[in-house]
Amino acid sequence: MNFEDVFKSSFLENVTSVSLLDMALALILAFGIGLFIFFVYKKTYNGVMYSASFGTTLVALTMITTVVILAVTSNVVLSLGMVGALSIVRFRTAIKEPLDIAFLFWSIAVGIVLAAGMIPLAVIGSVIIGVILLVFVNRKSHANPYMVVLSCTDHASELKAKDYLEKQTLRCVVKSKTAQKGFVELNMEIRLKDDNTDFINALSDMDGVNSAVLVSYNGDYRG
């Protein structure tokens, strides 16, 4: 057996191990489901700055995973080499939003399932996951935590403003306090009774209150 015989016996057989129809169908479905994942990501994004490149990455990742798994399932030797090659890959990009990890795993899982030939599982599973994310991530609640930054002139106006704020909210907890001569600043976590935020306007009009700012935050720390 010479080099030409080895080339013919391995390479040409691998070319026909996956049919063109299977490849085309898997890639078309990966592209379609990847677009659906991109749509769900765009509708559920709650971060500060939306990244369109990350959404495009989700589509590409779904298709790339499909291609890789198609190659792996067609050749056992290639699968062992692929494991070794991918084990040395290191990703340095930081994931800023925890939900982004779910979308990355979703794209990878869809690519694996499609390449394995489980098309109903990929399609139905993606639809169910997408609906759940759209319902729960976009669900707005007035009980979400807010921060109030309150600037007062003295201790008396501070107590008056704080007492008013406690009556207008479900919860009011002081997170930090800065006191200087003729100036007091409070950072308080509150929970609203409803969606009405007009109490901030009334709070800023009170005597001794310089300003009142209402800010929504993700509630990473709680007392």
DSSP code of residue 1:
-
For residue 43, CA distances in Å to 36, 40, 48 come to: 11, 5, 14
pLDDT at residue 220, as a whole number: 45
DSSP code of residue 205:
T
Pick the CATH number of 145-216 from 3.40.920.10, 3.20.20.140, 3.40.50.720, 3.30.70.260: 3.30.70.260
Asked whether the beta carbons of 80 and 62 are under 8 A apart, the reply is no
Averages of pLDDT over runs of 10 residues in the chain (223 residues) are 49 59 89 94 78 86 88 65 57 71 91 88 93 81 76 88 87 86 87 83 87 73 40
Q: How is the chain split into domains, by residue range?
A: 3-137, 145-216
pLDDT at residue 189, as a whole number: 87
Tokens of 194: 């409803």
